[in-house]
Amino acid sequence: KDIAHSGLKDRPAVIRQWLSLPAKHGAQLPDSGDGWHILERQLNERKLRVGAHRHNQFAITLRDIDADPTAIESALAELARDGFPNHFGEQRFGHSNRDKAQRWVERGQLPKKHDERAQTLSTLRAAAYNAQLDARRVADALHTPQPGDRAMLAGSNSHFTIEAVDDALLARLESGDIGGWLPGKEKSALPPAVSAWLETADAAQQAAVQYLQKYADGGWRALTVRPRDLQYDWQDAHTLHLAFTLPRGSYATAL
């Protein structure tokens, strides 16, 4: 419990990340072990907290590609310019988290264990957000702000309600995005697009949202995200190396 991290990285990967532990244990910690090696040590005044980092950097090699390189390069250019749908990746849900969470909705109860309670609420919120995002994507409205939408400022959790869509707003959104609802206790009115999605959602989804509105805190998450420093290199005709930076909470698998 004394070892802390800002975010856990993917298991099937070569990764570099900061971990923290009380300084009194530093002298006992070897420089390397089975599958790990300490690159750097620093003293700090406090332990790491989840989400304290701003970004994650990725370097991924895609192999056995069977597609037109020109089409892929065009898609990458569009992705760098307009961003990509900011889905929660499948790894957020694990193998059976959705089914387990839905059973708690059916019971109308919260799990007693803290970890299971947190996992249940986060799974339901992520699933509801993804469904809302997909509905907006089908309507071709991911990049089209509407009156009543929430606008989010890049690099922060700040957001404001869009009163009218004009040139000034569009200029502000060049460095931000439209926010998607993370269902929970919401004091202000929901955007019309969110209300429309909720009205057409199936019974299970509506029940999950009602459950979240009773037990979870609401929030907002950008519907799209733009990768920083996107670079690519063809190592051969079927192997592409990608490197990019994403803000915390966004998934390389979604990119």
- Active-site pick, 2, 10, 217, 233: 10
22's tokens: 């009380």
**Cα separation, 248 vs 86, whole angstroms:** 11
Contact status, residue 180 vs residue 232, Cβ threshold 8 Å: no
Q: What is the largest CA-CA distance in the chain?
A: 61
Q: Inter-axis angle of helices 203-215 and 114-138, to 10 degrees? A: 130
**Strand intervals (E) in the chain:** 4-5, 19-20, 32-33, 36-37, 55-62, 84-85, 150-153, 159-161, 176-182, 219-222, 224-225, 228-236, 239-247
Active site residue 10: yes
Q: Phi first, then psi: what are they for 25, rounded to 5°? A: -90, -5
Residues annotated as catalytic (active site), given as ranges:
10
